[in-house]
């Protein structure tokens, strides 16, 4: 099978998000080039070939991070699974172990200053304040926030409907402060930017759906607000299982990166409550 053709077919899969498709294309183009240089094709991929490619990725001259190598190997495995079937996917764990990185979450007062700094009465100011408030108050990913439609907001039940990774849906509680800011945006801001029929909750200056690049210009590291959401919930007494559901994590192991926060909370509870502390 021609590797290039197999890559195009794989990347056309409807289950891939646009961001994943872009990242995988770069990864798989690199793999295709390496196969060609070695005189190999996709049909030749086995544990030995994948181990050789992993060694190539790990060479110092490439300077790739462990997370990048892991993503490239994941892309290759997905390609092989799609093109040749699950039985042909090498089972050996070849990716380098990634160092455990704890999320850097801003403090409550930092978040409050960031939101308060977006105050204003113009349509864009109302939009920006509502958007950043929603990211923190609901723990949304950037793509989830800009992907919201008007019908996803239920003010009566005080919740929003979120379409997450892999098409997974969840309902997230909406607090009073984000509901108030959303109300201001919908009443006094959005009508001024609306152009024709667009159901997007957040609009650009051209009346189109806002994209994640515009959000990053507004708040350079929006994912830190999601980390703050999880961290502050844990510090306030929420358990990891609940936070897993609120964040839309498929596995509890993903949420457990916040367990260092949970350990601090448990230590404080122990020091306050145990007679031998």
Cα–Cα dist 9/7, whole Å: 5
| Residue 71 and residue 124 in one domain | no
Predicted confidence (pLDDT) at residue 275 exceeds the cutoff of 60: yes
- Select which of 24, 136, 229, 258 is catalytic: 258
**249 carries an active-site annotation:** yes
Please indicate, yes or no, whether residues 63 and 165 belong to a single structural domain of this protein.
no
Stretch among 96-100, 130-134, 162-166, 205-209 having the lowest mean pLDDT: 96-100
Judged by DSSP in three states, 209 sits in strand
Out of 165, 170, 209, 265, pick the active-site residue: 165
What single-letter DSSP state applies at residue 210?
P
The answer on 213 and 84 residing in a single domain is no
Strand partners, 209: 203
Contact predicate 94/50, CB 8 Å: yes
Instruction: Identify which of 254, 71, 40 has the alpha carbon closest to the alpha carbon of residue 79.
Output: 71
pLDDT of 211 over the 70 cut: yes
Q: Are residues 125 and 241 in the same domain?
A: yes
| CA-based max dimension of the chain | 70
The structural domain count of the chain equals 2
Exactly one of 71, 72, 227, 249 is catalytic; name it: 249
Do 125 and 256 belong to one domain?
A: yes
Last residue of a domain, one of 45, 60, 88: 88
Does pTM top 0.85 for this prediction? no
State how far the Cα of 231 lies from the Cα of 244, in Å rounded to an integer. Answer: 12
Note the pLDDT tens digit of each residue in 80-95: 999 999 888 877 666 6
> In this structure, are 126 and 81 located in the same domain?
no
* Three-state DSSP class for residue 171: strand
If asked whether residues 168 and 250 sit together in one domain, one would say yes
Residue 53 appears among annotated catalytic residues: no
* Of the candidates 118, 122, 142, the residue with the CA atom closest to the CA atom of residue 130: 118
Cα 222 from chain centroid (whole Å) = 10
Q: Which of 77, 190, 224, 226 is catalytic?
A: 226
For the stretch 135-150, pLDDT in tens is 999 999 999 999 999 9
Q: Name residue, tokens 């019908």.
A: 151
Q: Is residue 101 part of a domain?
A: no
In whole angstroms, give the CA distance from residue 232 to residue 252: 18
Range of the domain at 36: 3-88
CATH code of residue 24: 1.10.150
Q: Is 258 a catalytic residue?
A: yes
pLDDT at 171: 93
| Residue 168 among the catalytic residues | no
Instruction: Give domain status of residue 54, yes or no.
Output: yes
Residue 49 lies in a domain: yes
Residues 60, 133, single domain; the answer is no
- Tokens of residue 159, six digits: 């919740």
Does the residue 276 lie in any domain? Answer: no
């Amino acid at each position: 099978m021609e590797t290039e053709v197999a890559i195009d077919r794989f990347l056309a899969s409807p289950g891939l998000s646009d961001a994943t498709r872009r990242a995988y294309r770069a990864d798989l183009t690199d793999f295709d080039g390496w196969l060609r240089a070695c005189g190999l094709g996709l049909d030749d991929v086995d544990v030995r070939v994948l181990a050789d490619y992993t060694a190539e990725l790990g060479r110092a001259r490439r300077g790739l991070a462990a997370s990048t190598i892991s993503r490239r190997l994941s892309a290759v495995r997905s390609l092989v699974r799609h093109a040749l079937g699950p039985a042909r996917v090498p089972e050996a764990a070849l990716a380098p172990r990634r160092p455990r990185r704890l999320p850097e979450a801003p403090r409550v007062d930092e978040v409050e200053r960031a939101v308060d700094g977006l105050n204003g009465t113009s349509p864009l100011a109302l939009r920006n304040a509502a958007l950043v408030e929603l990211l923190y108050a609901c723990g949304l990913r950037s793509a989830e926030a800009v992907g919201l439609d008007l019908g996803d907001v239920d003010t009566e039940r005080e919740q929003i409907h979120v379409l997450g990774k892999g098409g997974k849906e969840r309902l997230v509680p909406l607090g009073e402060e984000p509901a108030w800011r959303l109300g201001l945006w919908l009443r006094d801001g959005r009508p001024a930017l609306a152009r024709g029929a667009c159901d997007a909750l957040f609009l650009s200056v051209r009346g189109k759906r806002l994209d994640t690049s515009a959000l990053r210009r507004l708040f350079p590291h929006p994912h830190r607000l999601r980390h703050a959401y999880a961290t502050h919930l844990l510090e306030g007494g929420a358990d990891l299982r609940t936070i897993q559901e609120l964040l839309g994590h498929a596995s509890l192991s993903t949420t457990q990166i916040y367990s260092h926060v949970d350990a601090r909370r448990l230590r404080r509870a122990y020091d306050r409550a145990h007679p031998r502390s």
